[in-house]
Structure 1
Amino acid sequence: MTRQEKGLWVTVIVLTAGVLFMGSWILFSGVLSQDNNKSDLAPHVVASVHDRAITEEEWTSELKKRYGSEVLMTMMNRQVVELEAAAANIKVTPQEVDQELERMGHGYGSKERFLQEMEQQLGLTEELLKAETSYRLTLEKIATADVEIDDAEIDQYLQQYPDQFRPKKQLELSIIKVEQETEAEEVLDRLENGEVFADLAEEVSIDEYTRDQGGRLGLVEEDDPFQPETLMETALSLSKGDIAGPIPLDEGYGVVYVQDILIPEESDENLIRETVRKQLALEQSVSLSELEGQLRDKYGARIIAEPNNQ
């Protein structure tokens, strides 16, 4: 996994959890609100397996059992953050959300590519991503409202970490990994004869991480320390569309396919400084999860009864 992917997976996990919890809530809260009206009706069947029906009530019960407490906590967090933001006159604009998605998209080459990856890999639509991003930005603004970061601190940080915001070339790579050099030669021969790289990767690659994705490694930064040096040296010498090998790896040999090469634009200086300002401010504030707990206490949020299976 690349460095930027590792960073983004943290965000993805948070977003996915939020979507899961809120999605579960939407699914069963709408059903629960109609229970009284349906009490005298036959159970509504939502699915069936062979001759076994799954009713809406069973579905709701399972959702509550699995996700009920988490959904309630998410709902309470949303409400207390909304109350605190209103009290402090804190707002997050659509432009700020778009700007944050642009920043998150840098690890994928572009915002559009990032959104596409999130929907294809995790089923997260742009609408859901925007909702979660807006919530996180609001929480961050609340956390840092009383933290002052001056320009000298930002200058010192940028001097200390000069390469952190330097745009880096990214390569979209796929790989087929085999045990023997002769096997890699055979792979190259089959590719030259017109076989599709992705199909061949699924058939012969021994790399469990990429095999089921047709050998796809994804976007890799030019200095990614998590990829074999021999692989990166070869890939950086190639052009878009090139295939090369055999490449000696720590275990086995590889054939690499450079699907695309992205040369990023220079980052906006003002955006860099604001990113550093927020990062330094968050380091001096309470954690976001701790802040949520403080706000729940402040506004008297509590679970009166644990969700049950009824």
Structure 2
Amino acid sequence: MKRNFLFGVIAVLIITNIATLLFWRTDKNVVFEDGNTEIDSREPVATIDHKKIKYEEWMNALRENYGREQLQRMIDREVVLQLAAEQDIEISEKVISREISLLTTMQGVMSEKETKAREKQWRKDILYRYQLGALLTSDVSVPEKKIREYYKDYHDQYNFKASIQLSHIVVPDRQTAGKVMNELEKGSSFELLAREYSHDDETKKDGGYLGFFVDYSKFLPDGYAKKAMKLKERSYSEPFKSGGHMAIIYLHRKLPDIKFSYEEIKPYIKRELALGKTTKNLDAKVLWNKLDIDWVYE
């Protein structure tokens, strides 16, 4: 069943979604989607010596340089969304969780607010990518034997191993550890205290940040993994002895194991193998002819 894109809606969307930034206007203010950036549209957006760049000039430049590409991306996503709904293409929450966990381990420290915002966007991107792959390969057949062989050889790559994200403060004695704990309990920043007190030169400048760890026993100092397992996310431990020093650790994130059976991952392996067989790129433009699309550039 074909559906129409309303020309008027598209015209509004191109303006309000330029350069992937959504904003709303009051009489004079523009507030961007992140909620943190607000500007007065009547004032210059930049001043270089005495040369001023007006808000309207900025918006016009964005429309001219990015308008077509951005509008095409928006149409791509709507095409995939509609066709996936028509064909009942659903993506497993387990697969989405795995993808989000992988992306999370590639980030540094994020606040709870930042985490929610990132995960919301990642979810949209993951759904789009998997639904697009399913649509592009719906008419491509892959033998069951080939899927099973691929799963046997590469099934581990689809699983996600439990990971923890840590920072630490290393001090020479209990007295200093007590001082750090006192400041933490008063609400001081763990990162700033690490910069001030920690004796670990490798992580001090980064606020004590250690990173994500999968194999806890190999790469973490004594006692870290055991202490981390007892902590809630975004909380710190009591001081404990480790390697001749006193340590306080901060658990940012704790990501659980995600493992797939053959039946759970089979549809996704099939699509992956099918994409390898087809000459189609992962491009939604080839699906446009399945819907009635009218847009300002054509």
TM-score bracket, shorter-length normalisation? 0.5 to 0.7
Q: Which residue of 1 aligns with 2:263?
A: 270
Pairing 1:70–2:62 present:
no
Q: Determine which of 173, 188, 192 is the counterpart of 1:199.
A: 192
Paired positions, count: 242
Q: Which residue of 1 aligns with 2:213?
A: 220
Which whole-Å CA distance do the structure 1 matches of 2:17 and 2:28 have between them?
A: 24
Q: 1:82 to 1:121 in 2, by over 3 A?
A: closer
Q: 1:120, CA displacement in angstroms?
A: 1.0
Which whole-Å CA distance do the structure 1 matches of 2:264 and 2:154 have between them?
A: 16
Which whole-Å CA distance do the structure 1 matches of 2:122 and 2:73 have between them?
A: 17
Which whole-Å CA distance do the structure 2 matches of 1:275 and 1:192 have between them?
A: 52
Which whole-Å CA distance do the structure 2 matches of 1:280 and 1:238 have between them?
A: 41
Q: Given the two structures, how large is their TM-score scaled by the length of structure 1?
A: 0.54
What residue ranges of structure 1 are gaps of 5+ in the alignment? 1-18, 32-42, 110-115, 177-183, 224-228, 248-252, 306-310
SS in structure 2 at match of 1:267: coil
Which whole-Å CA distance do the structure 2 matches of 1:204 and 1:20 have between them?
A: 45
What whole-Å deviation, never above 9, does each CA across 1:45-77 have from its counterpart, x for those lacking one? 65469xx9348x933431442465334213224
Q: Determine which of 249, 252, 266 is the counterpart of 1:257.
A: 249
What residue ranges of structure 2 are gaps of 5+ in the alignment? 1-15, 31-38, 46-52, 105-109, 185-189, 229-236
* Partner amino acid, structure 2, of 1:231: F
Which whole-Å CA distance do the structure 2 matches of 1:102 and 1:73 have between them?
A: 29
Task: Indicate if the aligned counterparts of 2:168 and 2:249 stay in contact, CA closer than 8 A.
Answer: yes
Q: 1:143 to 1:258 in 2, by over 3 A?
A: same
Q: Determine which of 137, 150, 155 is the counterpart of 1:157.
A: 150
Task: Indicate if the aligned counterparts of 2:160 and 2:258 stay in contact, CA closer than 8 A.
Answer: yes
Pairing 1:104–2:99 present:
yes
Task: Indicate if the aligned counterparts of 1:45 and 1:53 stay in contact, CA closer than 8 A.
Answer: no
Taking only the aligned residue pairs, the percentage that are identical comes to 16
Task: Indicate if the aligned counterparts of 1:168 and 1:264 stay in contact, CA closer than 8 A.
Answer: yes
Cα-Cα RMSD: 5.0
Pairing 1:282–2:293 present:
no
Which whole-Å CA distance do the structure 1 matches of 2:83 and 2:271 have between them?
A: 21
Moved more, 84-93 or 132-141: 84-93
Task: Indicate if the aligned counterparts of 2:44 and 2:54 stay in contact, CA closer than 8 A.
Answer: yes
Q: Determine which of 198, 216, 232 is the counterpart of 2:220.
A: 232
Which whole-Å CA distance do the structure 1 matches of 2:113 and 2:70 have between them?
A: 22
Task: Indicate if the aligned counterparts of 1:175 and 1:257 stay in contact, CA closer than 8 A.
Answer: yes
Q: Given the two structures, how large is their TM-score scaled by the length of structure 2?
A: 0.56
Q: 1:87, CA displacement in angstroms?
A: 7.4
Task: Indicate if the aligned counterparts of 2:44 and 2:55 stay in contact, CA closer than 8 A.
Answer: yes
Which whole-Å CA distance do the structure 1 matches of 2:173 and 2:69 have between them?
A: 52
* Partner amino acid, structure 1, of 2:219: L
Task: Indicate if the aligned counterparts of 2:159 and 2:258 stay in contact, CA closer than 8 A.
Answer: no
Task: Indicate if the aligned counterparts of 1:172 and 1:217 stay in contact, CA closer than 8 A.
Answer: yes
Q: 1:296 to 1:84 in 2, by over 3 A?
A: same
Q: Determine which of 122, 133, 142 is the counterpart of 2:135.
A: 142
Task: Indicate if the aligned counterparts of 1:147 and 1:281 stay in contact, CA closer than 8 A.
Answer: yes
Q: 1:85 to 1:237 in 2, by over 3 A?
A: closer
Which whole-Å CA distance do the structure 2 matches of 1:266 and 1:134 have between them?
A: 19
Which whole-Å CA distance do the structure 2 matches of 1:160 and 1:107 have between them?
A: 21
Which whole-Å CA distance do the structure 2 matches of 1:20 and 1:188 have between them?
A: 54
Higher share of residues assigned helix? 1
Which whole-Å CA distance do the structure 2 matches of 1:143 and 1:168 have between them?
A: 30
